[in-house]
Amino acid sequence: MLDIKTSSLTLDSAINSYIETHKDRFIKELCELLRIPSVSADPKYKSEVFKTAEAVKEKLVLAGADKVEICPTDGYPIVFGEKIIDPKLPTVLVYGHYDVQPADPIELWHSGPFEPVIKDGNIYARGACDDKGQMFMHIKAFELMMQTNSLPCNIIFMIEGEEEVGSDNLGVFVKQNKEKIKADVILISDTGIIANDIPSITVGLRGLTYVEIEVTGPNRDLHSGLYGGAVGNPINILCEMIAKLKDDKEQISVPGFYDDVEILTEQERAEMAKAPFNLDAYKKVLDLFDIHGEAGYTTNERNSIRPTLDVNGIWGGYMGEGAKTVIPSKAYAKISMRLVPNQKSEKITRIFKNYFESIAPKSVTVQVKPHHGGEPVVTPSDSVAYKAASMAMETTFGKKPIPIRSGGSIPIVEMFKSELGLDSVLLGFGLDSDAIHSPNEHFGVFNYLKGIETIPYFYKYYSELSK
Protein backbone atom coordinates (compact mmCIF):
# COMPACT_ATOMS: atom_id res chain seq x y z
CA MET A 1 0.00 0.00 0.00
CA LEU A 2 2.69 2.41 1.08
CA ASP A 3 4.61 1.53 -2.04
CA ILE A 4 1.79 2.42 -4.39
CA LYS A 5 1.15 5.65 -2.54
CA THR A 6 4.78 6.70 -2.68
CA SER A 7 5.02 5.83 -6.34
CA SER A 8 1.86 7.71 -7.25
CA LEU A 9 3.05 10.72 -5.30
CA THR A 10 6.25 10.62 -7.31
CA LEU A 11 4.27 10.28 -10.53
CA ASP A 12 2.03 13.20 -9.53
CA SER A 13 4.94 15.52 -9.02
CA ALA A 14 6.80 14.23 -12.06
CA ILE A 15 3.79 14.88 -14.28
CA ASN A 16 3.00 18.26 -12.78
CA SER A 17 6.51 19.59 -12.88
CA TYR A 18 7.16 18.30 -16.40
CA ILE A 19 3.99 20.00 -17.68
CA GLU A 20 4.75 23.20 -15.76
CA THR A 21 8.24 23.36 -17.26
CA HIS A 22 7.30 22.48 -20.83
CA LYS A 23 3.75 23.74 -21.34
CA ASP A 24 4.72 26.76 -23.43
CA ARG A 25 6.68 24.52 -25.77
CA PHE A 26 3.75 22.03 -25.89
CA ILE A 27 1.52 24.84 -27.12
CA LYS A 28 4.11 26.15 -29.56
CA GLU A 29 4.62 22.71 -31.08
CA LEU A 30 0.89 22.18 -31.50
CA CYS A 31 0.68 25.54 -33.26
CA GLU A 32 3.35 24.37 -35.73
CA LEU A 33 1.13 21.43 -36.67
CA LEU A 34 -1.95 23.63 -36.89
CA ARG A 35 -0.22 25.87 -39.39
CA ILE A 36 -0.20 23.13 -42.02
CA PRO A 37 -3.59 23.02 -43.77
CA SER A 38 -4.17 19.26 -43.91
CA VAL A 39 -7.66 19.33 -45.43
CA SER A 40 -8.22 15.77 -46.65
CA ALA A 41 -11.48 16.50 -48.50
CA ASP A 42 -9.99 19.03 -50.92
CA PRO A 43 -7.33 17.82 -53.41
CA LYS A 44 -5.95 21.37 -53.49
CA TYR A 45 -4.26 20.63 -50.15
CA LYS A 46 -2.71 17.33 -51.21
CA SER A 47 0.94 18.31 -50.64
CA GLU A 48 0.06 19.92 -47.30
CA VAL A 49 -1.60 16.74 -46.06
CA PHE A 50 1.55 14.77 -46.93
CA LYS A 51 3.64 17.46 -45.23
CA THR A 52 1.57 17.06 -42.06
CA ALA A 53 2.28 13.32 -42.02
CA GLU A 54 6.01 14.17 -42.16
CA ALA A 55 5.61 16.63 -39.30
CA VAL A 56 3.78 14.07 -37.14
CA LYS A 57 6.49 11.50 -37.92
CA GLU A 58 9.17 13.94 -36.77
CA LYS A 59 7.29 14.65 -33.54
CA LEU A 60 7.03 10.93 -32.79
CA VAL A 61 10.76 10.45 -33.39
CA LEU A 62 11.63 13.37 -31.12
CA ALA A 63 9.31 12.07 -28.39
CA GLY A 64 11.22 8.80 -28.37
CA ALA A 65 9.21 6.38 -30.53
CA ASP A 66 10.92 3.56 -32.43
CA LYS A 67 10.29 2.23 -35.94
CA VAL A 68 8.59 5.47 -36.88
CA GLU A 69 7.45 5.31 -40.48
CA ILE A 70 5.08 6.82 -42.96
CA CYS A 71 2.98 3.99 -44.34
CA PRO A 72 1.63 4.81 -47.79
CA THR A 73 -1.94 3.94 -48.72
CA ASP A 74 -4.02 4.53 -51.86
CA GLY A 75 -4.85 7.88 -50.27
CA TYR A 76 -3.10 9.77 -47.50
CA PRO A 77 -0.49 7.95 -45.43
CA ILE A 78 -0.70 6.52 -41.94
CA VAL A 79 2.00 7.54 -39.46
CA PHE A 80 3.15 4.60 -37.40
CA GLY A 81 5.46 4.43 -34.42
CA GLU A 82 5.95 2.27 -31.37
CA LYS A 83 7.75 1.83 -28.08
CA ILE A 84 7.86 -1.77 -27.00
CA ILE A 85 9.46 -1.82 -23.58
CA ASP A 86 8.65 -5.47 -22.88
CA PRO A 87 6.64 -7.79 -25.16
CA LYS A 88 5.19 -9.44 -22.07
CA LEU A 89 3.54 -6.21 -20.95
CA PRO A 90 0.21 -5.00 -22.33
CA THR A 91 0.20 -2.86 -25.47
CA VAL A 92 -1.96 0.22 -25.99
CA LEU A 93 -2.63 1.34 -29.56
CA VAL A 94 -3.15 5.09 -29.81
CA TYR A 95 -5.27 6.15 -32.77
CA GLY A 96 -5.80 9.71 -33.95
CA HIS A 97 -6.06 11.73 -37.15
CA TYR A 98 -3.93 14.54 -38.54
CA ASP A 99 -6.35 15.55 -41.29
CA VAL A 100 -8.89 18.32 -40.74
CA GLN A 101 -12.19 19.53 -42.17
CA PRO A 102 -12.27 22.30 -44.76
CA ALA A 103 -12.17 25.79 -43.21
CA ASP A 104 -15.13 27.28 -45.08
CA PRO A 105 -16.94 29.59 -44.70
CA ILE A 106 -13.62 31.34 -44.34
CA GLU A 107 -15.10 34.87 -44.00
CA LEU A 108 -16.64 33.93 -40.64
CA TRP A 109 -13.27 33.25 -39.00
CA HIS A 110 -11.96 36.00 -36.68
CA SER A 111 -8.40 34.96 -37.51
CA GLY A 112 -6.91 32.74 -40.19
CA PRO A 113 -7.93 29.08 -39.79
CA PHE A 114 -4.31 28.04 -40.30
CA GLU A 115 -2.75 30.91 -38.35
CA PRO A 116 -3.28 29.70 -34.78
CA VAL A 117 -3.82 32.36 -32.14
CA ILE A 118 -4.29 32.02 -28.40
CA LYS A 119 -7.12 34.14 -27.06
CA ASP A 120 -8.99 33.93 -23.75
CA GLY A 121 -7.38 30.63 -22.87
CA ASN A 122 -8.21 28.96 -26.19
CA ILE A 123 -6.12 27.93 -29.18
CA TYR A 124 -8.01 29.00 -32.32
CA ALA A 125 -7.34 27.09 -35.56
CA ARG A 126 -8.89 24.44 -37.77
CA GLY A 127 -7.98 21.11 -36.15
CA ALA A 128 -7.13 22.67 -32.76
CA CYS A 129 -9.54 20.23 -31.12
CA ASP A 130 -10.46 17.86 -33.98
CA ASP A 131 -8.06 16.18 -33.92
CA LYS A 132 -4.57 17.64 -34.10
CA GLY A 133 -4.77 19.05 -30.56
CA GLN A 134 -6.19 15.88 -29.05
CA MET A 135 -3.91 13.59 -31.04
CA PHE A 136 -0.86 15.66 -30.07
CA MET A 137 -1.72 15.36 -26.35
CA HIS A 138 -0.79 11.69 -26.74
CA ILE A 139 2.58 12.44 -28.31
CA LYS A 140 3.36 14.93 -25.55
CA ALA A 141 2.14 12.56 -22.81
CA PHE A 142 4.37 9.90 -24.35
CA GLU A 143 7.31 12.31 -24.34
CA LEU A 144 6.56 13.05 -20.70
CA MET A 145 6.53 9.36 -19.78
CA MET A 146 9.76 8.75 -21.68
CA GLN A 147 11.50 11.70 -20.05
CA THR A 148 10.31 10.88 -16.56
CA ASN A 149 10.91 7.16 -16.95
CA SER A 150 7.31 6.34 -16.21
CA LEU A 151 6.06 4.48 -19.27
CA PRO A 152 4.65 1.28 -17.74
CA CYS A 153 3.60 -0.62 -20.89
CA ASN A 154 4.00 -0.76 -24.67
CA ILE A 155 2.60 1.87 -27.01
CA ILE A 156 1.82 1.80 -30.72
CA PHE A 157 0.85 4.99 -32.52
CA MET A 158 -1.32 4.88 -35.63
CA ILE A 159 -2.22 8.36 -36.83
CA GLU A 160 -4.18 8.60 -40.07
CA GLY A 161 -4.89 11.35 -42.60
CA GLU A 162 -8.34 10.37 -43.88
CA GLU A 163 -10.68 10.29 -40.90
CA GLU A 164 -12.65 13.26 -42.13
CA VAL A 165 -13.28 11.48 -45.43
CA GLY A 166 -14.31 8.11 -44.02
CA SER A 167 -11.08 6.18 -43.21
CA ASP A 168 -11.48 3.73 -46.14
CA ASN A 169 -7.75 3.25 -46.62
CA LEU A 170 -7.15 2.86 -42.90
CA GLY A 171 -9.69 0.04 -42.99
CA VAL A 172 -7.57 -1.71 -45.63
CA PHE A 173 -4.37 -1.03 -43.64
CA VAL A 174 -5.85 -2.50 -40.47
CA LYS A 175 -6.91 -5.67 -42.31
CA GLN A 176 -3.45 -6.08 -43.88
CA ASN A 177 -1.33 -5.26 -40.81
CA LYS A 178 -2.92 -7.18 -37.97
CA GLU A 179 0.45 -8.40 -36.66
CA LYS A 180 2.11 -4.99 -36.86
CA ILE A 181 -0.64 -3.30 -34.85
CA LYS A 182 -1.22 -6.12 -32.40
CA ALA A 183 -2.40 -4.57 -29.14
CA ASP A 184 -4.62 -5.16 -26.13
CA VAL A 185 -6.70 -2.04 -26.29
CA ILE A 186 -7.20 1.10 -28.40
CA LEU A 187 -6.94 4.56 -26.86
CA ILE A 188 -8.46 7.52 -28.71
CA SER A 189 -8.91 11.20 -27.91
CA ASP A 190 -11.26 12.45 -30.62
CA THR A 191 -14.43 13.08 -28.58
CA GLY A 192 -15.41 15.39 -25.75
CA ILE A 193 -16.40 15.87 -22.13
CA ILE A 194 -19.66 17.37 -20.83
CA ALA A 195 -17.92 20.39 -19.27
CA ASN A 196 -14.55 21.23 -17.77
CA ASP A 197 -15.93 20.46 -14.32
CA ILE A 198 -18.03 17.48 -15.50
CA PRO A 199 -15.71 14.87 -16.99
CA SER A 200 -17.20 12.11 -19.11
CA ILE A 201 -16.05 9.17 -21.20
CA THR A 202 -17.74 8.38 -24.50
CA VAL A 203 -19.09 4.83 -24.72
CA GLY A 204 -21.02 5.02 -27.99
CA LEU A 205 -20.69 6.56 -31.44
CA ARG A 206 -23.23 6.74 -34.20
CA GLY A 207 -22.64 5.32 -37.66
CA LEU A 208 -23.07 7.22 -40.89
CA THR A 209 -24.56 6.91 -44.34
CA TYR A 210 -23.84 9.77 -46.73
CA VAL A 211 -25.34 10.22 -50.18
CA GLU A 212 -25.26 12.80 -52.90
CA ILE A 213 -28.40 13.47 -54.95
CA GLU A 214 -28.60 14.76 -58.50
CA VAL A 215 -32.02 15.62 -59.94
CA THR A 216 -32.18 16.34 -63.68
CA GLY A 217 -35.11 17.98 -65.42
CA PRO A 218 -34.87 19.56 -68.89
CA ASN A 219 -31.61 19.13 -70.81
CA ARG A 220 -30.74 22.84 -70.43
CA ASP A 221 -31.62 25.78 -68.20
CA LEU A 222 -34.90 27.28 -69.43
CA HIS A 223 -36.53 30.73 -69.46
CA SER A 224 -38.89 30.57 -66.47
CA GLY A 225 -41.49 32.68 -68.28
CA LEU A 226 -41.60 30.68 -71.48
CA TYR A 227 -41.49 27.28 -69.78
CA GLY A 228 -42.52 28.00 -66.18
CA GLY A 229 -45.59 26.05 -65.09
CA ALA A 230 -45.29 23.52 -67.90
CA VAL A 231 -41.99 21.78 -67.08
CA GLY A 232 -40.88 20.20 -63.81
CA ASN A 233 -38.44 22.39 -61.87
CA PRO A 234 -35.75 20.08 -60.44
CA ILE A 235 -35.19 22.29 -57.39
CA ASN A 236 -38.90 22.40 -56.50
CA ILE A 237 -39.16 18.67 -57.04
CA LEU A 238 -36.04 17.94 -54.99
CA CYS A 239 -37.50 19.99 -52.11
CA GLU A 240 -40.81 18.12 -52.32
CA MET A 241 -38.97 14.80 -52.27
CA ILE A 242 -36.88 15.85 -49.28
CA ALA A 243 -40.06 16.90 -47.48
CA LYS A 244 -41.32 13.33 -47.90
CA LEU A 245 -38.34 11.91 -45.99
CA LYS A 246 -39.83 12.76 -42.57
CA ASP A 247 -43.32 12.87 -41.09
CA ASP A 248 -44.73 15.48 -38.72
CA LYS A 249 -43.29 13.62 -35.71
CA GLU A 250 -39.82 13.90 -37.22
CA GLN A 251 -39.79 10.16 -37.90
CA ILE A 252 -37.90 9.11 -41.00
CA SER A 253 -40.28 7.76 -43.67
CA VAL A 254 -37.89 5.47 -45.53
CA PRO A 255 -39.58 2.04 -45.26
CA GLY A 256 -37.53 -0.28 -43.05
CA PHE A 257 -35.35 2.53 -41.68
CA TYR A 258 -36.12 1.69 -38.05
CA ASP A 259 -36.23 -2.10 -38.43
CA ASP A 260 -32.89 -2.79 -36.75
CA VAL A 261 -32.70 0.20 -34.39
CA GLU A 262 -31.59 -0.76 -30.90
CA ILE A 263 -34.29 0.07 -28.36
CA LEU A 264 -32.94 1.05 -24.97
CA THR A 265 -34.70 -0.16 -21.84
CA GLU A 266 -36.45 2.36 -19.61
CA GLN A 267 -33.72 1.73 -17.08
CA GLU A 268 -30.98 2.58 -19.58
CA ARG A 269 -32.83 5.72 -20.57
CA ALA A 270 -33.23 6.71 -16.93
CA GLU A 271 -29.50 6.17 -16.45
CA MET A 272 -28.78 8.42 -19.46
CA ALA A 273 -31.09 11.11 -18.13
CA LYS A 274 -28.88 11.45 -15.05
CA ALA A 275 -26.19 13.24 -17.04
CA PRO A 276 -26.38 16.95 -16.25
CA PHE A 277 -28.11 18.93 -18.99
CA ASN A 278 -29.66 22.39 -19.08
CA LEU A 279 -32.07 22.93 -21.96
CA ASP A 280 -32.24 26.70 -21.53
CA ALA A 281 -28.48 27.03 -21.63
CA TYR A 282 -28.42 24.71 -24.65
CA LYS A 283 -30.85 26.96 -26.54
CA LYS A 284 -29.12 30.10 -25.41
CA VAL A 285 -25.66 29.26 -26.73
CA LEU A 286 -27.18 28.46 -30.11
CA ASP A 287 -29.50 31.51 -30.15
CA LEU A 288 -32.54 29.25 -30.55
CA PHE A 289 -36.07 29.98 -29.40
CA ASP A 290 -36.89 26.29 -29.49
CA ILE A 291 -35.40 22.90 -30.16
CA HIS A 292 -36.62 20.47 -32.79
CA GLY A 293 -36.60 16.70 -33.02
CA GLU A 294 -38.26 13.32 -32.91
CA ALA A 295 -41.36 13.16 -30.70
CA GLY A 296 -41.02 11.14 -27.52
CA TYR A 297 -37.28 11.61 -26.98
CA THR A 298 -35.15 14.02 -24.98
CA THR A 299 -32.50 16.22 -26.57
CA ASN A 300 -29.71 13.96 -25.36
CA GLU A 301 -31.51 10.90 -26.72
CA ARG A 302 -32.21 12.57 -30.04
CA ASN A 303 -28.54 13.37 -30.50
CA SER A 304 -27.08 10.03 -29.47
CA ILE A 305 -29.27 6.92 -29.35
CA ARG A 306 -31.70 7.85 -32.17
CA PRO A 307 -30.92 7.81 -35.88
CA THR A 308 -31.23 10.97 -37.97
CA LEU A 309 -31.57 12.22 -41.53
CA ASP A 310 -30.23 15.65 -42.43
CA VAL A 311 -29.67 17.64 -45.57
CA ASN A 312 -26.09 18.92 -45.39
CA GLY A 313 -26.17 21.02 -48.52
CA ILE A 314 -28.57 21.87 -51.31
CA TRP A 315 -27.92 23.86 -54.45
CA GLY A 316 -28.76 24.44 -58.07
CA GLY A 317 -29.98 27.12 -60.43
CA TYR A 318 -28.87 30.73 -60.27
CA MET A 319 -26.94 31.65 -57.15
CA GLY A 320 -25.15 34.81 -58.31
CA GLU A 321 -25.94 38.48 -57.66
CA GLY A 322 -29.37 39.86 -58.55
CA ALA A 323 -32.21 37.97 -60.17
CA LYS A 324 -32.13 35.60 -63.10
CA THR A 325 -35.39 34.07 -64.29
CA VAL A 326 -34.52 30.48 -64.93
CA ILE A 327 -35.75 26.93 -64.52
CA PRO A 328 -32.56 25.02 -63.86
CA SER A 329 -31.70 21.80 -65.57
CA LYS A 330 -30.30 20.30 -62.37
CA ALA A 331 -30.63 20.36 -58.59
CA TYR A 332 -28.35 18.78 -56.00
CA ALA A 333 -28.34 17.83 -52.35
CA LYS A 334 -26.05 16.07 -49.90
CA ILE A 335 -27.84 14.01 -47.27
CA SER A 336 -26.44 12.26 -44.22
CA MET A 337 -28.02 9.73 -41.92
CA ARG A 338 -26.62 9.02 -38.47
CA LEU A 339 -27.07 5.40 -37.49
CA VAL A 340 -27.42 3.70 -34.13
CA PRO A 341 -26.50 0.19 -32.99
CA ASN A 342 -27.69 -2.69 -35.19
CA GLN A 343 -28.37 -0.47 -38.20
CA LYS A 344 -25.99 -1.25 -41.07
CA SER A 345 -24.66 1.53 -43.24
CA GLU A 346 -24.82 -0.55 -46.43
CA LYS A 347 -28.45 -1.55 -45.88
CA ILE A 348 -29.57 1.96 -44.97
CA THR A 349 -27.89 3.34 -48.09
CA ARG A 350 -29.71 0.75 -50.21
CA ILE A 351 -33.18 1.30 -48.75
CA PHE A 352 -32.74 5.07 -48.89
CA LYS A 353 -31.78 4.91 -52.56
CA ASN A 354 -34.74 2.66 -53.40
CA TYR A 355 -37.21 4.87 -51.57
CA PHE A 356 -35.85 8.15 -52.90
CA GLU A 357 -35.91 6.91 -56.49
CA SER A 358 -39.43 5.54 -55.97
CA ILE A 359 -40.86 8.93 -54.94
CA ALA A 360 -39.43 10.77 -57.96
CA PRO A 361 -42.04 11.94 -60.50
CA LYS A 362 -41.48 10.94 -64.14
CA SER A 363 -40.74 14.56 -65.04
CA VAL A 364 -37.20 14.26 -63.63
CA THR A 365 -34.47 11.65 -63.34
CA VAL A 366 -32.85 11.09 -59.97
CA GLN A 367 -29.41 9.75 -59.19
CA VAL A 368 -28.36 8.74 -55.66
CA LYS A 369 -24.60 8.40 -55.26
CA PRO A 370 -23.34 6.83 -52.03
CA HIS A 371 -20.33 8.40 -50.29
CA HIS A 372 -18.36 6.98 -47.38
CA GLY A 373 -20.18 5.35 -44.50
CA GLY A 374 -19.38 4.02 -41.07
CA GLU A 375 -20.91 1.65 -38.56
CA PRO A 376 -22.21 2.60 -35.11
CA VAL A 377 -20.46 1.21 -32.05
CA VAL A 378 -20.92 0.86 -28.32
CA THR A 379 -17.82 0.38 -26.16
CA PRO A 380 -17.85 -1.35 -22.77
CA SER A 381 -17.99 0.63 -19.55
CA ASP A 382 -17.04 -2.35 -17.39
CA SER A 383 -13.66 -3.23 -18.91
CA VAL A 384 -10.24 -2.87 -17.29
CA ALA A 385 -9.34 -0.16 -19.82
CA TYR A 386 -12.53 1.82 -19.13
CA LYS A 387 -11.86 1.56 -15.43
CA ALA A 388 -8.31 2.81 -15.93
CA ALA A 389 -9.58 5.77 -17.96
CA SER A 390 -12.19 6.51 -15.33
CA MET A 391 -9.62 6.42 -12.53
CA ALA A 392 -7.27 8.60 -14.56
CA MET A 393 -9.94 11.28 -15.03
CA GLU A 394 -11.02 11.00 -11.42
CA THR A 395 -7.41 11.65 -10.42
CA THR A 396 -6.95 14.74 -12.58
CA PHE A 397 -10.48 16.26 -12.50
CA GLY A 398 -11.27 15.27 -8.93
CA LYS A 399 -14.57 13.78 -10.13
CA LYS A 400 -15.58 10.43 -11.48
CA PRO A 401 -16.40 10.72 -15.21
CA ILE A 402 -19.89 9.93 -16.49
CA PRO A 403 -20.22 7.42 -19.35
CA ILE A 404 -22.06 9.06 -22.27
CA ARG A 405 -23.07 8.09 -25.78
CA SER A 406 -22.11 10.60 -28.42
CA GLY A 407 -23.83 11.46 -31.66
CA GLY A 408 -20.64 11.80 -33.71
CA SER A 409 -18.95 9.12 -35.76
CA ILE A 410 -15.43 7.70 -35.92
CA PRO A 411 -15.73 4.99 -38.58
CA ILE A 412 -12.64 2.99 -37.62
CA VAL A 413 -13.78 2.28 -34.06
CA GLU A 414 -16.30 -0.36 -35.11
CA MET A 415 -13.66 -1.90 -37.39
CA PHE A 416 -11.18 -2.14 -34.51
CA LYS A 417 -13.79 -4.30 -32.83
CA SER A 418 -14.92 -6.38 -35.81
CA GLU A 419 -11.49 -6.82 -37.46
CA LEU A 420 -9.15 -6.94 -34.46
CA GLY A 421 -11.56 -7.87 -31.68
CA LEU A 422 -10.37 -4.80 -29.76
CA ASP A 423 -12.39 -2.38 -27.67
CA SER A 424 -11.60 1.31 -27.77
CA VAL A 425 -11.50 3.76 -24.91
CA LEU A 426 -12.79 7.15 -26.09
CA LEU A 427 -10.95 9.44 -23.72
CA GLY A 428 -11.72 12.82 -25.26
CA PHE A 429 -11.19 16.30 -23.82
CA GLY A 430 -13.07 18.56 -26.25
CA LEU A 431 -16.19 20.61 -25.52
CA ASP A 432 -19.31 20.95 -27.69
CA SER A 433 -18.57 24.67 -27.71
CA ASP A 434 -15.16 24.10 -29.35
CA ALA A 435 -16.86 24.60 -32.74
CA ILE A 436 -15.28 21.60 -34.46
CA HIS A 437 -16.05 21.60 -38.21
CA SER A 438 -17.26 25.22 -37.80
CA PRO A 439 -15.59 28.61 -38.17
CA ASN A 440 -13.43 29.60 -35.18
CA GLU A 441 -12.73 26.06 -34.02
CA HIS A 442 -10.74 26.18 -30.81
CA PHE A 443 -9.37 24.01 -28.02
CA GLY A 444 -8.95 25.15 -24.43
CA VAL A 445 -5.39 25.37 -23.17
CA PHE A 446 -6.87 23.89 -19.98
CA ASN A 447 -8.24 20.93 -21.94
CA TYR A 448 -5.01 20.39 -23.89
CA LEU A 449 -2.88 20.34 -20.75
CA LYS A 450 -5.50 18.33 -18.83
CA GLY A 451 -5.27 15.69 -21.54
CA ILE A 452 -1.50 15.55 -21.32
CA GLU A 453 -1.82 15.25 -17.55
CA THR A 454 -4.52 12.56 -17.61
CA ILE A 455 -3.05 10.21 -20.22
CA PRO A 456 -0.04 9.05 -18.13
CA TYR A 457 -2.45 8.04 -15.35
CA PHE A 458 -4.38 5.95 -17.85
CA TYR A 459 -1.19 4.00 -18.57
CA LYS A 460 -0.40 3.69 -14.88
CA TYR A 461 -3.83 2.36 -13.90
CA TYR A 462 -4.18 0.23 -16.99
CA SER A 463 -0.87 -1.55 -16.30
CA GLU A 464 -1.66 -1.96 -12.61
CA LEU A 465 -5.15 -3.32 -13.26
CA SER A 466 -3.88 -5.64 -16.03
CA LYS A 467 -1.44 -7.42 -13.71
| Site membership for ligand BES, residue 162 (CB under 6 A) | no
C-beta of 14 vs 275, nearer to ligand BES:
275
Query: How buried is 239 (Cβ within 10 angstroms: 0-12 exposed, 13-18 middle, 19+ buried)?
Result: middle
Entry field: residues in the chain: 467
C-beta of 131 vs 160, nearer to Mn ion:
131
Window 374-403: contact mask with ligand BES (x via CB under 6 A): x-----------------------------
| Site membership for ligand BES, residue 371 (CB under 6 A) | no
Size of the site for ligand BES (CB under 6 A): 17
For ligand BES, which residue of 191, 395, 424, 447 counts as binding (CB under 6 A)? 191
| Site membership for ligand BES, residue 192 (CB under 6 A) | yes
| Site membership for ligand BES, residue 414 (CB under 6 A) | no
For ligand BES, which residue of 308, 409, 424, 447 counts as binding (CB under 6 A)? 409
99 is catalytic: yes
For ligand BES, which residue of 411, 444, 451, 456 counts as binding (CB under 6 A)? 411
Shortest approach of ligand BES to residue 202 CB, angstroms?
6
> Which of ligand BES, Mn ion, none binds 374 (CB below 5-8 Å, type-dependent)?
ligand BES
Asked if the peptide bond before residue 105 counts as cis, ω within 30 degrees of 0, the response is yes
> Which of Mn ion, ligand BES, none binds 345 (CB below 5-8 Å, type-dependent)?
none
The one catalytic residue in 29, 99, 162, 190 is 99
Give the binding range for ligand BES (CB under 6 A) out of 159-167, 222-230, 236-244, 251-259. 159-167
Asked if the peptide bond before residue 131 counts as cis, ω within 30 degrees of 0, the response is yes
> Which of Mn ion, ligand BES, none binds 423 (CB below 5-8 Å, type-dependent)?
none
287 is catalytic: no
The residue at minimum Cβ distance from ligand BES is: 408
Window 126-155: contact mask with ligand BES (x via CB under 6 A): ----xx------------------------
Q: CB count, 10 Å around CB of 290?
A: 5
The one catalytic residue in 29, 130, 162, 163 is 163
| Site membership for ligand BES, residue 166 (CB under 6 A) | yes
Shortest approach of Mn ion to residue 436 CB, angstroms?
6
| Site membership for ligand BES, residue 410 (CB under 6 A) | yes
| Site membership for ligand BES, residue 163 (CB under 6 A) | yes
HEC-encoded secondary structure of the chain: CHHHHHHHHHHHHHHHHHHHHHHHHHHHHHHHHHCCCCECCCHHHHHHHHHHHHHHHHHHHHHCCEEEEEECCCCCCEEEEEECCCCCCCEEEEEEECCECCCCCHHHCCCCCCCCEEECCEEECCCCCCCHHHHHHHHHHHHHHHHCCCCCCEEEEEEECCHHHCCHHHHHHHHHCCCCCCCCEEEECCCECCECCECEEEEEECEEEEEEEEEECCCCCEECCCCCCCCCCHHHHHHHHHHCCECCCCCECCCCCCCCCCCCCHHHHHHHCCCCCCHHHHHHHCCCCCCCCCCCCCHHHHCCCCCEEEEEEEEECCCCCCCCCEECCEEEEEEEEEECCCCCHHHHHHHHHHHHHHCCCCCCEEEEEEEEEECCEECCCCCHHHHHHHHHHHHHHCCCCEEEECCCCCCHHHHHHHHHCCCEEECCCECHHHCCCCCCCEEEHHHHHHHHHHHHHHHHHHHHHHC
Give the binding range for ligand BES (CB under 6 A) out of 317-325, 386-394, 407-415, 459-467. 407-415
C-beta of 15 vs 188, nearer to ligand BES:
188
Shortest approach of Mn ion to residue 458 CB, angstroms?
19
Give the binding range for ligand BES (CB under 6 A) out of 57-65, 189-197, 246-254, 275-283. 189-197
Binding residues for Mn ion (CB under 5 A): 130-131, 190
C-beta of 252 vs 427, nearer to ligand BES:
427
Is residue 431 within 8 Å of 447, Cβ to Cβ?
A: yes
Q: Which residues are catalytic?
A: 99, 163
Binding site for ligand BES (CB under 6 A): 130-131, 163-164, 166, 190-192, 205, 208, 372, 374, 406, 408-411
